Amino acid sequence: MLAKSPKMKVLTALTVSCLSLLCAFAVSKADEDKKETAAETQASDAPAKGADGALQGGVKQVELSLTRMRDVSMDISKLKQDAKALYGEATRQIVHIQSSPNIIGGAVVNIPIRFETGQYLPPRKKWVERYVADIGPELKLLKEGVDEMESGCREILVAESLKDDLKEIFSDWSKGVKLANEHYDDLAAYVGKGRLTNSELGSKSLELRNYLTGLERTVKAGFKLMRKSQKKTRNDKMVPIA
């Protein structure tokens, strides 16, 4: 074997050094790529925050406020008006006009008087269906809120010192919303059959209105409690009601 010249030895040493540096750089770059990939994976797996600050795909936190309570109270009031209109449709009566003679300045004047005969008119199916269609979606939205809270998807945050009192009010609210929805489902199924009677439609719509009145009282109780305690709870920590 021919002996390498000093120049060849130097070139060989430089080549080996360059190859070593390239290998080290490649290993280092691979490690960096792995770290970046892992970081990107963690970032993509982490729940993103929505516009309201709640974690998407996680627990949504909602702070209970007087404004929110007012809005719910307005929703219930609107539902009560629809239930009242439904009851009115079930209790429409035939109207007659008759004249009542009166003497005014020596002259006899017949004054028309409107009165209801007591005989009920058949409920108008299209109007009944419209009232039922108006009530359903809003009532279901209230139930969705209750279901989310009970499943842990939503946390209602309240002032810590009011937690026990508001927890009892929320328990009444949850029960009332479920009962109102159950009764609505029964009413909708009845209307869907198409055979409407004044007595049954009137009874069912009046019962629904009574459930909504109970919900209205519950909301007012919570609103009154929070308004009365505003100054006391100003610096309270907000905690989940559940």
How many domains is the chain built from? 1
Distance, CA of 82 to CA of 90 (rounded, Å): 13
Instruction: Give the residue numbers spanning the domain of 71.
Output: 60-92+122-240
Using 50 as the pLDDT threshold, list the residues of the chain that sit under it: 1-4, 6-30, 32-56
Contact of 64 with 226, CB cutoff 8 Å: yes
Distance, CA of 11 to CA of 24 (rounded, Å): 20
Whether 44 is in a domain gets the answer no
Tell me the torsion sign for CA atoms 190, 194, 195, 199. positive
Whether 41 is in a domain gets the answer no
Whether 30 is in a domain gets the answer no
Contacts of 103 (CB under 8 A, 6+ apart): 109
Whether 22 is in a domain gets the answer no
Whether 23 is in a domain gets the answer no
Whether 165 is in a domain gets the answer yes
Give the tens place of pLDDT for each residue, 142-152. Answer: 999 999 999 98
C-alpha distances in angstroms, 187 versus 65, 90, 198, 206? 33, 13, 13, 11
What is the per-residue DSSP string for 56-121?
A: TTSPEEEE--HHHHHHHHHHHHHHHHHHHHHHHHHT-EEEEEEEEEEEETTEEEEEEEEEEEEEEP
Whether 17 is in a domain gets the answer no
